[in-house]
Amino acid sequence: MSAVTFDLPEPAAPCVFEPQMLTGVGSATADLGPIWIIEEVAGHLRAQGKKTGAPHMRLYRLSGDVLTAEQELNLGGESSRADTAMALLEQAKARSGVIVCSFRTVAAAQIVERLEASGRSELHYVVEVDPTRRVEFARARDGVRSSLPKDRVETASWQQVNLSKPAGDSECYAANLGKVKLGGVADLTCFALSIGGIKGYQRGILVGMTSLELEDGLKKLAQLLAWTRWVRLAVRKAKRTRSALAAPSRLSLSDTAETAASLDILVRANRKIAAGHDAKAADQHLQFPDQPALNRPGF
């Protein structure tokens, strides 16, 4: 994808994510082509110290309403996160559409600069940025251009947008924060997405930057940015589906084991009873050697 060369990270273990049909989620952005979502698998849990083991990065593709896992590579070693992300895109032959990525997975400035250097004019991007890191806005506010995105969020003008997420429609709010420069890339559109309250900056508000124009629709931009969170919902949904499908098999095996155990107990009980009868018959045979067994006492 890029003219820049780099060592490929090692592939991760085969992905167990099955394709998911998420009815209605792709209609808002269908005209933009495939949506490529880059995420560190369970990265939010690892950041909280709830998950250990080798980290790995996964590339998802949303085509219409179908979400699939395309590629997966290990993180670490000599390859940077930006290298790993570019390797994933190269292996998947991503040539058009929109890339979605959070700064928690790859530093926003790094992935943006790498994508711009690739020269793929048909490949756009929406990246979530750290709202607490200062950037340079094209227009000054109160005489200041360089400011924190979260400061612009607090005085933004919001509009309601209805988004389609894997768990159903959601009423959200979005705001245009203006043009901005990120790293060495200028003229990006900066915007914010709020799920829930909108007064001031809070944890639930996401700030994004994109190479797409605002004319593409603030709702579309918000829908794309939300995938930095929604992909986890899709993964959890897939996991629940796998568990539900596996449950009957586990139940069947459990029932079979219980049935076998019951039969074994019954057989052993019958054997014990039969052995008792045999012992009794032998004892009575000694006492009444000339009588048939059926005529002896107790038979």
Question: Tokens 């559109």 map to which residue?
Answer: 189
Integer distance in angstroms from the first to the last C-alpha of the chain?
92
CA-to-CA separations, 10 to 73, 74, 239, in angstroms, rounded: 6, 6, 25
Q: Map out the domains of the chain as residue ranges.
A: 20-244
Looking at residue 279, its pLDDT comes to 54
Nearest to 126 by CA among 201, 188, 178, 194: 188
CB atoms within 10 A of CB 3: 7
Q: Kindly report the pTM of this predicted structure.
A: 0.74
Residues 6+ apart with CB under 8 A from 22: 65, 66, 67, 166, 234
Nearest to 206 by CA among 100, 81, 89, 98: 100
Mean pLDDT, 10 residues at a time, the chain of 299 residues: 52 68 89 96 59 83 94 85 95 96 96 93 96 94 91 90 80 93 95 76 85 90 94 80 63 54 56 59 48 46
CA dihedral 169, 175, 177, 181 (to 10 degrees): 10
Domain 20-244 = CATH 3.90.350.10: yes
CB atoms within 10 A of CB 8: 14
To which H or E segment does residue 128 belong?
Answer: strand 123-128
Looking at residue 184, its pLDDT comes to 92
CA 189, 126, 209: angle at the middle one, nearest 5?
Answer: 30
| Residue 18 exposure: Cα atoms within 13 Å on the Cβ side | 10
